[in-house]
Structure 1
């Protein structure tokens, strides 16, 4: 069984659909705690480390073979807690970051939440260092898209994100990274020739591999 730590309930059907399509034998258990993101945005991600660790330990006690954190803001905190969690811990955006740096050094990160930028940029740079590749990261925060998402208009959020991706000149980017799992629906709406990467499909695949081999 793979447990997933979410900070929005909208992720549940997304990952259930991916499981149904790509990993039909995998059992998922969803833990949805929006308050963790609220506190992390207000006080910093480190402020919720104790609560994240408690979630991870609870998942292990309930029989999870691995935990996948789907919140980019909390992903680094979740990974840092892995040694005390009693279960492997993965962040949903790491496979995406590894794929991004393989495509070229000019990485553009789009986010709808400013709190996501630091963790995502650090992750891309970490994966670039691990691969021995140069990287130059540029970032854009799409505040209006977040307001649409918070207001329950996921379709408008996706359209705004897709529009922002399409507005990036192809000559200025080798790859565009959608920093948050909630931005993934924008990917199919883009028309840019630049590859646009999102985390859920790759992240779930990585989680499934770990959970099924334990």
Structure 2
């Protein structure tokens, strides 16, 4: 069983649908804790380390063999809790970051130009740090730019999903000097298909779930 730690209920149907398409049959246990994001925004992501442990404890007791954190803001802290929790903890955006770093730069460039688009300003720093970490691991140079989609988070908080995705798509379409665009938050994924752009747009849910499923299955006795 894979435990998914969410900071918003909007992620639950997204990952259920992905599970049905990509690693079918893997049991998912959704854990929604909106207070984690609120506290991380107020006190910093490190403040929620023990709260993460408590949030997933029940799922681990029920047999979860890996955890997927779907929130980019607290993803780094969640990932660091793996030794304490005793199971693999995957941050949803790491596979996406690795894929972005692997994109070849333009013919006239030595560094891959990556534009990070976020809906929430607090997500920019951890996402940029993650991409820098993946670049250092691979030895590939990157040039990073970050953009906060104007008005997007307010629409998300208001429950205006269409307006939220439209604001993100507008930000994507404004990018004209990049080798790849990264959507920093899992909730932004559906905006990729709404934007008209020749630049590849990467989102985190599908690759993140694949990585977490791979981490969960060997311990659960499923075929790799």
Q: TM-score, normalised by structure 2?
A: 0.92
CA deviations 1:29-88 (Å, max 9, x no partner) are: 000000100110111001111101222343322210100000000100001111111111
Give the secondary-structure state (helix, strand or coil) at the position aligned to 1:4. strand
Q: Which of 103, 118, 126 matches 2:125?
A: 118
Give distance in 2, aligned partners of 1:7 and 1:175: 27
Say whether residues 1:185 and 2:190 are aligned partners.
yes
Match of 2:181?
A: 176
Match of 1:207?
A: 212
Q: TM-score, normalised by structure 1?
A: 0.96
Give the secondary-structure state (helix, strand or coil) at the position aligned to 1:192. coil
CA deviations 1:69-115 (Å, max 9, x no partner) are: 00000100001111111111000000000000111411100001111
**8 Å contact kept, 2:181–2:199:** yes
Give distance in 1, aligned partners of 2:83 and 2:143: 31
Computed over aligned residues only, the root mean square deviation of the Cα atoms, in angstroms, reads: 0.9
CA deviations 1:103-149 (Å, max 9, x no partner) are: 14111000011111111000000001111100111101124011111
Give the 4+ runs in structure 1 shifted more than 4 A: none
CA positional deviation for 1:21: 1.3
Give distance in 2, aligned partners of 1:86 and 1:102: 30
Give the number of equivalent residue pairs.
212
Give distance in 2, aligned partners of 1:42 and 1:153: 24
**8 Å contact kept, 2:70–2:92:** yes
Give distance in 1, aligned partners of 2:58 and 2:49: 14
Give the secondary-structure state (helix, strand or coil) at the position aligned to 1:147. helix
**8 Å contact kept, 1:94–1:203:** yes
Give distance in 2, aligned partners of 1:125 and 1:82: 21
Say whether residues 1:59 and 2:20 are aligned partners.
no
Aligned residue runs from structure 1 range 63-102, under 5 A: 63-102=63-102
Give the secondary-structure state (helix, strand or coil) at the position aligned to 1:163. helix
Give distance in 1, aligned partners of 2:173 and 2:179: 13
Unaligned runs of 5+ in 2: 106-111, 220-224
**8 Å contact kept, 2:119–2:148:** yes
Which segment is superposed worse, 16-25 or 196-205?
16-25
Give distance in 2, aligned partners of 1:174 and 1:143: 22
Give distance in 1, aligned partners of 2:82 and 2:37: 19
Match of 1:23?
A: 23
